[in-house]
A and B are shown apart, each in its own frame.
Chain A
């Protein structure tokens, strides 16, 4: 059974960098058409995709966050990480890591991707 677990500091000061790690168990980061993503949720709000990474290191970021985000992968530890710099109170949120499973549907002639496994989330509060 694949499980994801986020970890990181709960409290970060404004203008600093928040670093989060997602540890994957029950599956290899480098296994198949799988990507590893970060999603956040501001208090009382909806889900916001931050970005994702392939085990090779290829990344894709939300354009609204791209200038402040770096997602990296450490296959030796079966972990991937998120760094978000220059944080403000607007970055206070629950941060989730999730697995994206992908493939090709030959009937619909379309690629598909879905987030099938999620971590429990970790709360990041930005405050001085």
Chain B
């Protein structure tokens, strides 16, 4: 299998745009999902099939993918968006997770 690489951390000011990346050798031929996890909570899917937002996820969350890099963007970031974000893809039938990006809103 291959690795999914995410920056360990990033920070953004409230109201600004946060863009976090996920790269992997085979992502170009795979769909990517993104999960948000707040302290003490289970993961919550915020993006699937690269660009689709589940019901109930705010419109400020968007996803893109270009080649082997997927990007999750949060526009107008709010303090409630402070969390760990994990990308996830598949290699054959094996689920892969990125190491996660800790988003700090300050």
Which residues of A come within 8 Å of B, CB atoms? 37, 39, 46-49, 52, 60, 62-63, 96, 98, 105, 108, 110, 112-116, 118-121
Contacts and interface: CB of A to CB of B under 8 A. Distances in A.
Contact of B42 (A46, A62, A105, A121): A121
B25 to A, nearest CB: 16
Contact of A114 (B33, B96, B97): B33
6 contacts: A46-B99, A46-B100, A47-B35, A48-B97, A63-B1, A115-B35
Contact of A108 (B31, B54, B98, B99): B31
A115 B45 contact: yes
Contacts of B88: 47, 114-115
A118 B44 contact: yes
Given A46-B86, A46-B98, A47-B35, A114 B45 contact: yes
A110 B43 contact: no
B31 A116 contact: no
A52 B42 contact: no
Interface in B56-83: none
B43 A62 contact: no
A118 B42 contact: yes
Nearest to B95: A49
A8 to B, nearest CB: 16
B30 A110 contact: yes
Nearest to B98: A46
Nearest to B44: A118
A47 B31 contact: no
B97 A46 contact: yes
Contact of B31 (A46, A52, A63, A110): A110
A115 B33 CA distance: 8
Contacts of A114: 31, 33, 45, 48-49, 88
Contacts of B48: 112, 114, 116
A28 to B, nearest CB: 21
A91 B99 CA distance: 18
Contacts of A49: 94-97
